[in-house]
Amino acid sequence: MTTVLITGASSGLGAAFARGFAAKGCDLVLVARDTGRLQATATALTAEFGIGCEVLTADLLDPVQCGRVANRLADPARPVGILVNNAGFGLPAPFPYNPVEDEERMLDLLVKVPLKLTHAIVPGLRERRRGAVLNVSSVAGLLPTGTYGAAKAWLTAFSESLRVDLAPYGVRVLAVVPGFTRTEFQERAGMDLSALPASYWLEADAVVARALKDLGLHRPLSITGWRYRAYAAAVRHLPRTLVATRMARTRRPPAA
């Protein structure tokens, strides 16, 4: 049975991916910083689905701990067939108001960590001629929306090109492109989205169900909900400067 390694599996979309793959009978390796939450998820999924589930506690922003996760992905004795690069966070304020250290941490987690982990798993996938990499990007990456959006644009473009590079080996690459999803993301980032209409919100399980379906159909991108699919199609035809100006209105400087 395929083993799936999921980063950021302690909450939100990562926990939903864990449940989605467990329901398919996959064994799991769950990665995040909070051992207690990972262990609770592992215990529940093992009891419900009879799968094998490892907990690998790691702060992916620590090079040594990230290296341990990369080593697990590259271990030929315990092959991992699917990597889900999901761990991430956002910042509350626009770029000019954030400490540069916070910007660097966000860029590292959203870009450098998926790059490193993907590089670790790819040789084994190519050799075994099967498997997949799922990169959890964002609709924010379709637009000029600050440094978070810029990082997610990198992840989507990376996924689209890697998909072509790995297709001859039978390895799939999917960019998962969620819109606003009910997780801990907004609260952790200190964002107040109480004014966002209810119809914009997605459930994490729906994003995962769509992603697993799109993976099965060999699609390059997975976008949940007709509203976000229409949005993704529309923004391709709008002038970037107009979009950048409109989107800047959604990023508020912090209160003085």
Q: Give the residue numbers annotated as catalytic, written as ranges.
A: 148
Task: Please select the residue that binds ligand NAP; options are 17, 154, 158, 185, rule is CB under 6 A.
Answer: 185
Give the whole-angstrom CA distance, residue 34 versus residue 58. Answer: 8
Q: What angle do CA 171, 112, 95 make, to 5 degrees?
A: 130
Give the three-class secondary structure for 222.
strand
Instruction: Match 């980063």 to its residue by tokens.
Output: 7
Task: Please select the residue that binds ligand NAP; options are 183, 212, 222, 224, rule is CB under 6 A.
Answer: 183
Task: Please select the residue that binds ligand NAP; options are 34, 75, 127, 203, rule is CB under 6 A.
Answer: 34
**Contact stretch for ligand NAP (CB under 6 A) within 17-25, 159-167, 179-187, 239-247:** 179-187
114 belongs to the binding site for ligand NAP (CB under 6 A): no
41 belongs to the binding site for ligand NAP (CB under 6 A): no
Q: E strands along the chain, which residues?
A: 3-7, 27-32, 53-57, 82-85, 132-136, 172-176, 181-182, 202-203, 221-222
Of 128 and 215, CB closest to ligand NAP: 215
Give the whole-angstrom CA distance, residue 192 versus residue 254. Answer: 12
Residues touching ligand NAP, count (CB under 6 A): 29
Binding residues (CB under 6 A) for ligand NAP: these are 7-14, 32-34, 37, 59-61, 86-89, 109, 136, 138, 178, 180-181, 183-185, 188
